[in-house]
Amino acid sequence: MGKDKVVLAYSGGLDTSVAIKWLEEKYNLDVIAVTVDVGQIEELDKIRERGLKIGAKDFYLIDAKEEFAQDFILKALKANALYEGKYPLVSSLSRPLIAKHLVKVAEKVKASFVAHGCTGKGNDQVRFEVSIVALNPELKIIAPIREWKMSRQEAIEYAQKHDIPVEVTKKSPYSVDENLWGRTIECGILEDPWLEPPEEAFKLTVAPEQASEKPKYLEIAFEKGKPVALNGKNLPLIKIINQVNKIAGESGFGRVDMIENRLVGIKSREVYEVPGALSLITAHCDLEDLTLERELLHFKSRMEIKYAELIYYGLWYSPLKEALDAFFEKTQESVSGTVKLKYYKGSCQVVGRKSEKALYDYSLATYEKREDLFSHDSAKGFIELFGLPIKTWAKKKADG
Ligand code: ARG
């Protein structure tokens, strides 16, 4: 019988490159490297070459961009998902998808182990491991970086000793994760929450003060909650996300600087570039304001908070998450129409919206006497009964 195998989530960076050798040495396993493309702009060909050269027995490059957009981003958008009201879950959304492909490959090549390159301080380790066990509870998980406790310098030395190409060891001051839904930036100088992030940390957005003096407009059309067209032109979802990222980013919109509560108990300072995600969520929310009945709208917004938490906590594959998906899907039946966004030097404002499904009724809302159909007389009785409990309470109080 041959050696057992481990399927490693491989990014091509220093840590996962070192992990290829380390897994072989420490656990005597054949390493199968898997890179899942979720829209990170990197040289994917080079990653394959590097992985194989270091000693991976096989390499899989999986283009999961379409799946990421349709099955992950779109669900999050329908739920306007923002962790702590600010973070559109960039990394949190990609982990369950990467996990899904790791498990698929592991089953295909009959590997008993799956490995990921997360540290012991973050949320990503939780998301990978909980997703993997949810999809295949038999698989065993190894987290080399959490286990080996090497400093960055030691990892570089290990790389040099084992002939691992050192171009990957060039010291970047930040830890970055990137995909279709945005970019996350951590570490380095950003660990001091008082210091303003330096301009070099950003890639998808220009500084608001550098953006054009001319406002830019964007019309986003939705069908049942899904973005389908930009400025009147029908486009596939991935194209829409990419284009909105570009236009909003050039307008200096989409930077988030926040203190975030990690699942593992740490408060951390996080910097995000999410021009497309925040634009689409802003537009989508506004269209819901126009098309959803009040009680549904209010109830949905409470579920959105829970949903974002579940995704952040790594519970993508869980019964509550699935049930909430069914709820959100139902709510989107009437969410069709167009929203007009205006970008100006770092701001993004909704300045217009229209829909055939609009519940906005001009004859009810207008203050123009001639067209007004609202029953002013009914207001009196309504307020009497609505305020009755308060009146009763106030009377009692006055009586002592
Ligand atoms: N704080 C974010 C999250 O927990 C971003 C994590 C980024 N991950 C990374 N490996 N750099 O989702």
pLDDT per residue as tens digits for the range 109-126: 999 999 999 999 999 999
Among 40-44, 63-67, 220-224, whose mean pLDDT is lowest?
40-44
pLDDT at residue 100, as a whole number = 98
Phi and psi at residue 224, in whole multiples of 5°? 45, 45
Alpha carbon distance 9, 40 (integer Å): 14
Ligand 1 atom nearest to CA at 177: 11
Ligand 1 atom nearest to CA at 83: 12
pLDDT at residue 150, as a whole number = 85
Per-residue pLDDT for 169 more than 70?
A: no
pLDDT at residue 170, as a whole number = 55
Ligand 1 near 270 CB (within 6 A): yes
CA 369 to centroid of ligand 1, rounded, Å: 55
How far is residue 107 from each of residues 52, 101, 136, 179, 346, measured CA to CA in Å? 21, 10, 9, 26, 47
pLDDT at residue 167, as a whole number = 65
User: Considering the chain, what is the average pLDDT of its residues?
Assistant: 96
pLDDT at residue 172, as a whole number = 74
pLDDT at residue 251, as a whole number = 98
CA 123 to centroid of ligand 1, rounded, Å: 7
Active site residue 372: no
Active site residue 95: yes
Pick the residue with more confidence: 324 or 171? 324
Alpha carbon distance 270, 304 (integer Å): 21
CA 313-318-324 angle, to 5 degrees, is 95
Query: Are 184 and 270 in contact, with CB atoms under 8 Å apart?
Result: yes
pLDDT at residue 40, as a whole number = 79
Domains and CATH numbers, the chain: 5-171 (3.40.50.620), 183-292+335-354 (3.90.1260.10)
Catalytic residue among 17, 92, 124, 183: 124
> What band does 1 get if pLDDT is binned at 50, 70 and 90?
low
Among 141-150, 289-298, 329-338, whose mean pLDDT is lowest?
141-150
Per-residue pLDDT for 41 more than 70?
A: no
CA 361 to centroid of ligand 1, rounded, Å: 44
Q: Side chain identity at 88, as an amino acid letter? A: P
Please tell me whether residue 274 adopts helix, strand or coil conformation. Answer: coil
Query: Are 217 and 341 in contact, with CB atoms under 8 Å apart?
Result: yes
- Whose C-alpha lies nearest to ligand 1, atom 10? 177
Among 43-57, 168-182, 303-317, whose mean pLDDT is lowest?
168-182
- Whose C-alpha lies nearest to ligand 1, atom 9? 177
Other Cβ atoms less than 10 A from the Cβ of 349: the count is: 13
Ligand 1 near 184 CB (within 6 A): yes
Per-residue pLDDT for 45 more than 90?
A: no
Query: Are 172 and 203 in contact, with CB atoms under 8 Å apart?
Result: no
Look at the block and give the residue holding tokens 């899907």: 329
Read off the pTM: 0.96
Pick the residue with more confidence: 170 or 384? 384
CA 143 to centroid of ligand 1, rounded, Å: 16
Over the range 132-168, which residues count as b (16 or more CB within 10 Å of their CB) and which as e?
Answer: bbbbeeebeebbbbeeeebeeeebbebbeebebeeeb
